[in-house]
Amino acid sequence: MQSWRRRKSLWLALSASWLLLVLLGGFSLLRLALPPRPRPGAPQGWPRWLDAELLQSFSQAGELPEDAASPQAPHGGSCNWGACFDTSKCRGDGLKVFVYPASGPISETHHRILASIEGSRFHTFSPAGACLLLLLSLDAQTGECSSMPLQWNRGRNHLVLRLHPAPCPKTFQLGQAMVAEASPTVDSFRPGFDVALPFLPEAHPLRGGAPGQLQQHSPQPGIALLALEEERGGWRTADTGSSACPWDARCEQDPGPGQTQRGETLPNATFCLISGHRPEAASRFLQALQAGCIPVLLSPRWELPFSEVIDWTKAAIVADERLPLQVLAALQEMSPARVLALRQQTQFLWDAYFSSVEKVIHTTLEVIQDRIFGTSAHPSLLWNSPPGALLALSTFSTSPQDFPFYHLQQGSRPEGRFSALIWVGPPGQPPLKLIQAVAGSQHCTQILVLWSNERPLPSSWPETAMPLTVIDGHRKVSDRFLPYSTIRTDAILSLDARSSLSTSEVDFAFVVWQSFPERMVGFLTSSHFWDEAHGGWGYTAERTNEFSMVLTTAAFYHRYYHTLFTHSLPKALRTLADEAPTCVDVLMNFLVAAVTKLPPIKVPYGKQRQEAAPLASRGPGPGPKPQAPAPDCINQIAAAFGHMPLLSSRLRLDPVLFKDPVSVQRKKYRSLEKP
């Protein structure tokens, strides 16, 4: 009996040991399906698979594919950022880019690149004052190849831009030049020096671009689990069982029912399997991002775009193609919360960096500017969280808390003060009553009067409990949105001298803004609409329940939008606002809506003052006759943005007990209901 118990104990111990070994081995295999998180601050390439010994127990002898040849020395030898780029040329004005003129015929893609650079804040026409000299590698379709420029200087402080792999044979040595290339191989890519670009189709739009196609973030019933890119184009979707490996020709199991989608149709699946061997497969990567299909890269041999700054672990999965069963099991067992987070990130990355040629080029230049200013120029949060690094300018701040977008992630709240900026245009009467009403607010910390008319400045101004500063403007409407250094608060109350507000209206609007610091909060509204008769956008200031814009003659917003207005918008749009002053409200609303993807918020405003307010309505009223926006103003701005960012809303926030039949003593903002 005792010997039987010993044998039983030994058998149980051996069984437990084998079970533990299998579990540990299985978990290690599943972890290979998820990419390792890169160390912050260090540029990362994709790992080489070091699991040959582990794989021997799961495959027959001779079945494993041969490993790739040992990596060759990258072009440029030991060139790196510190050794081959002179940052002293970038002091003062920061990154300024000069583009060499083309020596021959150029393609449509080349024209788009030139237009996107010339319209950016980085461009300069002087090679002597440039920090970076950019050479565009001409497309093979033109029949011409780039030649060495006169100011080559062994390639120092040069960037060779190639939007398509190997467009031309190398006609000169790159030397110390950086290379921004579409889908470079991991063997030739120099991390921290070169820039990996996405593979763009020829018809990729210059600006704006198509939005992401993900209509429902959670997987819909009946949606395919997998979409597989095919060598001759298109996608094949399949609902597979746990024992199937549809991308592996050695599998004998039935992969299940499938459906082929030919042409450029975006895949309709949860995961998109993309081969890592063929460079042309990189073109499918952007299709997967746009469709909200999580890219599953099978042992990629090419560098992912902008991998230096984008954390692809939040949007894509790197899998070992030699472990099809384990990878498929990991995909099927992934939690819905993880799938939702990955799909949401694909939509953000597509819209922020890849939806247009302009965004791809500007992202490339932003990566180089971050290297000049150091790793702290754009923390990882700014690159990998909406609205993205292109709309979170490092010239404004390098701290996420200073921007209006990250208070929720940071667990912070905007400060409880605001600055009033009163624009005084013609006829130039000092807004004495408006100053007194704003000065009565408990949240106002300073008042700035922007004097923008031909009359001389008044000699006396009303006394207020807070500082009152008068700024002599340049007689332009766009002066209202310059980033004045005298503004010390995050919140700005933008006012026109002809506006009329009560202290209670100001206080309540500011409290609302504190809960929505990324949005515009205003009193007077207008809306846009599509005019079928004229085939364009229209604009109306009629008072309706639905609106998409608030007038900046009385509105709260974050001071960061002054920096974006001045340094991010094309000069042509700011000139349009100066030539057609009524367009400035439309332009500012376009900017905020494009950044936030949210509509503005309306707060209550006195009916009598609303009828008399300038630029508020086309109806009759005791005030001056309002000016209508320029007929084609909204269409010109929409064309410059490349899309229509405005969103309509019916939300109006009122105080608690607003117009309720209760005692006035119980109401906090009592004067809001006075006639």
pLDDT for residue 626: 44
DSSP, residue by residue, 157-171: TEEEEESSSS-S---
CA distances from 254 to 243, 245, 296, 351 (A): 9, 9, 21, 37
Max mean pLDDT range (138-147, 245-254, 425-434, 559-568) = 559-568
CA distance 324 to 240: 12
Residue of 585, 632, 654, 660 with catalytic role: 585
Domain boundaries defined on the chain: 79-141+149-209+356-378, 224-240+262-355, 418-523+550-607
| 91/196: higher pLDDT | 196
* Whether 187 is catalytic: no
Max mean pLDDT range (76-80, 255-259, 523-527) = 523-527
Those residues whose C-beta lies under 8 Å from the C-beta of residue 432, and which sit 6 or more positions away, are 462
Contact 434, 406 (CB under 8 A): no
Return the bridge partners of 492, or none. Answer: 419, 557
Give the lowest-confidence range in 99-113, 489-503, 554-568, 620-634: 620-634
pLDDT at 636 over 90: yes
Quote the strand ranges of 86-173, DSSP E: 97-99, 132-136, 158-162
Please write the tens of the pLDDT for every residue from 148-196.
777 788 889 999 988 765 555 554 577 889 999 988 888 889 999 999 9
Segment 66-83 shows an average pLDDT of 54
CA distance 627 to 541: 10
Residues constituting the chain:
675
Q: Is 295 helix (H, G, I), strand (E, B) or coil?
A: strand
**Architecture of the CATH domain 418-523+550-607:** Alpha-Beta Complex (3.90)
Contact 626, 498 (CB under 8 A): no
Contact 345, 314 (CB under 8 A): yes
pLDDT at 56 over 50: no
pLDDT for residue 554: 95
| 485/24: higher pLDDT | 485
Q: Is 644 helix (H, G, I), strand (E, B) or coil?
A: coil
DSSP state of 180: E
Q: Which helix (H) or strand (E) holds 175?
A: none
User: Average pLDDT of the chain?
Assistant: 79
Structure token pair of residue 430:
């000092």
pLDDT at 250 over 60: no
Segment 207-225 shows an average pLDDT of 73
Angle at 118 between CA 117 and CA 123, to 5 degrees: 80
pLDDT at 227 over 90: no
| 201/674: higher pLDDT | 201
CA distances from 298 to 275, 305, 319, 552 (A): 5, 16, 5, 51
pLDDT for residue 218: 59
Quick one: which of 437, 527, 448, 436 has its CA closest to 491? 448
The Cβ-side half-sphere exposure at 70, using a 13 Å CA radius, reads 1
Contact 500, 436 (CB under 8 A): no
Contact 392, 421 (CB under 8 A): no
Please write the tens of the pLDDT for every residue from 284-298.
899 999 999 999 998
pLDDT for residue 255: 45
CA distance 441 to 91: 43
| 578/17: higher pLDDT | 578
Segment 9-26 shows an average pLDDT of 55
The pLDDT-based confidence of 48 (bands split at 50, 70, 90) is very low
pLDDT more than 70, % of the chain? 73
CA distances from 261 to 202, 233, 246, 335, 350 (A): 21, 9, 16, 27, 21
pLDDT for residue 165: 59
pLDDT at 328 over 90: no
pLDDT for residue 279: 64
